[in-house]
Structure formats: structure tokens, C-alpha cells
Amino acid sequence: MSILSGKNILLGISAGIAAYKTASLVRLLIRAGAQVQVVMTPASKDFITPLTLSTLSRNPVYSTFVDEEDENATWNNHVELGIWADLMLIAPATANTMSKMANGVCDNLLLATYLSAKCPVYFAPAMDLDMYKHPSTLRSLDILKRYGNIVIPATSGELASGLVGKGRMAEPEDMVLFIEKDIINNLPLKGKKVLITAGPTYEAIDPVRFIGNHSSGKMGFEIAKAAANLGADVCLISGPTSQSINHSLVSVVNVTSAEDMYIAVHDNFKNVDIAILAAAVADYKPIVVAKDKIKKKDSTLSLELEKTKDILASLGEIKTNQFLVGFALETNNELENAKAKLKNKNLDLIVLNSLNDKGAGFKSDTNKVTLINKNDEVKTYDLKSKEQVAQDLLNEIIKQLDE
């Protein structure tokens, strides 16, 4: 999954021959999982049709403040467009449009939207060689960069005039890659390695049966996705679950038993900055696992169980600079038990959730958590989606790491 997945992207198109490339650009952004809204200058419609871009973006294309052919038309609100966007990309950015952007000229909907944008703005210059080298263009480039806009550099190649040189707009694939890399490089967990465990473990009784629990793995998978979206390189170690994840920054290690998870976690722990153990690991396992399926002969069946290895405690004993996070699912004396676990297992943060809270715990899309750090500071959150809980948790971890 691309870092652009779920992003709202405003694509501004100005009047240059390179506008023909925006059809491929829109398709690539949609394929990356983004929502795309196109705003064109009126003159750019001479180079590519709004119908093409509307079809590819699955949204209406805006080019004027009102549709003059529709007497009942409403105003195309440039302020709302600017607020909606997570990022804005102006491609191609002609010399004319760049000059207007640099000087605050606002004579069309695209420029009004640019001036209203609250998000990062990328622009991809496209023009002929001599225009690109002109001092006024170089001045516009410098001003726009000083404003905080991000330039996607023009490349060298054959230009519309037949000349060969710099001024060619970057190819759509390269623009998408540039934006993805730029976003990742500025994310708060960029360069951090994060280990996350998720799901249940299954402890075999015989080749057919096992001891398990009701964990779906959803909480751990949401944490993994949120960490990756913040730029982290994530190792997700998961017990048996129907959950799945497709993200370029997440590698998944599938395990079955508590022993499998113990080994996988210890194989990876020394190389990580943050470890978040959200898995519901079995506390006990059968001492003897039958080689053949146990036949149903007697009215009762007795199993002798032994403790599994305490993965979280074992990490607390060997951690050096890792930030270690555990989970505590409690049914009584919740806060006291969670604080004791935090201290006894040498954690930096513990996530408490109670089965007494409706909508929290296993098999739910929501969770209600309390975060407790090693300084005994307690933060209680309302019932939220597990996606939001994951974001709250990572925000708290980032805050703790920055202190």
C-alpha cells in the first residue's frame, strides 16, 4: 500500500503541452489509493479535456468559479477545496502560472485554490529551455521554494519546440515516487524500526485441536498500519488471524504458537527502536501434545498444562534503548494490575483495556484504552475505532520519545 492511500490530492493543471501527461498521473494517484480532485485553468482545457480527467479521477473537474452555462449552478468554493486537500500538486506548472503563484496574482480558480491551500504544495515546472533559464522564471522558482512549496525538478530531454535541454516536466511515475519519498522523509517515525505483535497463539493439543483465544488481531494490525503511515519500518509478527495488510513498509512474520512468537520476537528485537506487544499470547500450553487425534472415548478429558514463556517480561530484562509497550486486558482491579505489570516487566508504556467496557476487547472494531507510562502518568481515552486508538497510541509514543 502506498503512503498516498487515503490522501485527498488536489491536482492543479495549467496550460502547457505537458498537460497530456496528467491522464497517466491521475490514474497512478488513484491506483495508489488517493482521492483526486482536478482543478484546471481555462486555457489548459486546450491540451486535455475535463471529460478525460473526470472519468479517470471519478470526480467532476473544476475550471471556473461558476458554470456559466448552468443558470442554477452553485459557486465552486476554492476555500473548501483548499481545506479538503491533504496535499496539492500543480502539474504542469507553466512559467505563467508560477509567476502568478509567486506574486499572488489570483485570476482563475486554480490560483485562488492555491492561495487557499492549507496543505503542502508540490509543483512540477514545464516549459521550453529558454523560458526555464530566464531570470524571471528562476526568480519565481526561488520565491515559491521560500514560501515552502516543494518543487519536483524538471528534467532534461526533447522539448515541444524541438530543442533538447532542461524544462521537461517529470514523468508521472517519477512525480508520484518523488511525493511518496518526500512524505516519508518528513514523517515522525522515519528511520525508526518498529516491532509489533498481533493476534492469538494456538497451542496444540493434538494434530487437530488447540487451545486459543478470541483475539482477532485487528488492534495489532491497525497499529502496524498506523506506524507505517508515520514512516516506520515495521516488522509485524502475527499469530493465526484473518487480518491482512499490504503496505510497502510492513513485513509480516506468521507464527502459530507462543514458542514460535517468542523466537520470532527475540530474533528481531535487538534491531528495533520500538516494540509494541499487542498479541494475546497463551499463558499455558499442554505439556504433552498427542501425536494422533485424541479419540472421544471418555466423558471427560484431562490436560496437564505448563506456563508459556513470558515474552514481554523477557524483553524487559534485555532491552537497552528500545521503547517497550505492553497491553493489559483486565476484568478487575484494572488500573492496579496494569501498573504492576508496567513495573514488573520493565515497560515504558502499557495499554490498559477492560472487558468491562462495552465495545472494547476482542472481536470488536472499537476499543477503549487507558495509557500509563513509567512516570505513572495516566491518560484515559473515550471509546474509539481501533484505527483511532492506534493513532493515539503512536502519538503518545512519539511524544514520549521526544521528551
Predicted confidence (pLDDT) per residue in 163-178, tens digit: 788 889 999 999 999 9
Strands 193-198 and 274-277 come out as: parallel
Question: Which residues on adjacent β-strands are paired with residue 366?
Answer: 385
| Claim to verify: residue 212 and residue 338 sit in the same structural domain | yes
| C-alpha span between 172 and 350 (Å, rounded) | 44
pLDDT of 354 over the 90 cut: no
Phi and psi at residue 88, to the nearest 5°: -120, 135
Please indicate whether residue 178 or residue 64 has the higher confidence score (pLDDT): 178
> Is 213 an annotated catalytic residue?
yes
| Claim to verify: residue 101 and residue 198 sit in the same structural domain | no
Are residues 366 and 201 in contact, defined by beta-carbon separation less than 8 angstroms? no
Q: Which three cell numbers stand for residue 358?
A: 462495552
Maximum C-alpha span of the chain: 92
| Claim to verify: residue 375 and residue 263 sit in the same structural domain | yes
| Claim to verify: residue 31 and residue 94 sit in the same structural domain | yes
| Claim to verify: residue 273 and residue 369 sit in the same structural domain | yes
Q: What is the pTM of this model?
A: 0.81
- Per residue in 307-332, pLDDT (tens digit) is 999 999 999 999 999 999 999 988 78
| Claim to verify: residue 54 and residue 144 sit in the same structural domain | yes
Q: What is the mean pLDDT of residues 254-268?
A: 97
Mean pLDDT of the chain: 93
Domain span holding position 175: 8-185
pLDDT of 72 over the 60 cut: no
Say if 308 falls within a structural domain.
Answer: yes
Residue 42 φ/ψ region, left for φ over 0, alpha for ψ in the -120 to 50 degree band, beta for the rest: alpha
- The pLDDT score that the predictor gives to residue 182 is 94
| Claim to verify: residue 20 and residue 164 sit in the same structural domain | yes
Say if 311 falls within a structural domain.
Answer: yes
- The total number of structural domains that make up the chain: 2
pLDDT of 74 over the 70 cut: no
Say if 372 falls within a structural domain.
Answer: yes
Distance separating the N- and C-terminal Cα atoms of the chain: 31
- The pLDDT score that the predictor gives to residue 298 is 81
Query: If pLDDT is split at 50, 70 and 90, which confidence band does 283 have?
Result: very high
Say if 175 falls within a structural domain.
Answer: yes
Which listed residue (8, 59, 77, 213) is catalytic?
Answer: 213
pLDDT of 239 over the 60 cut: yes
pLDDT of 71 over the 60 cut: no
Look up residue 377 and give its amino acid: E
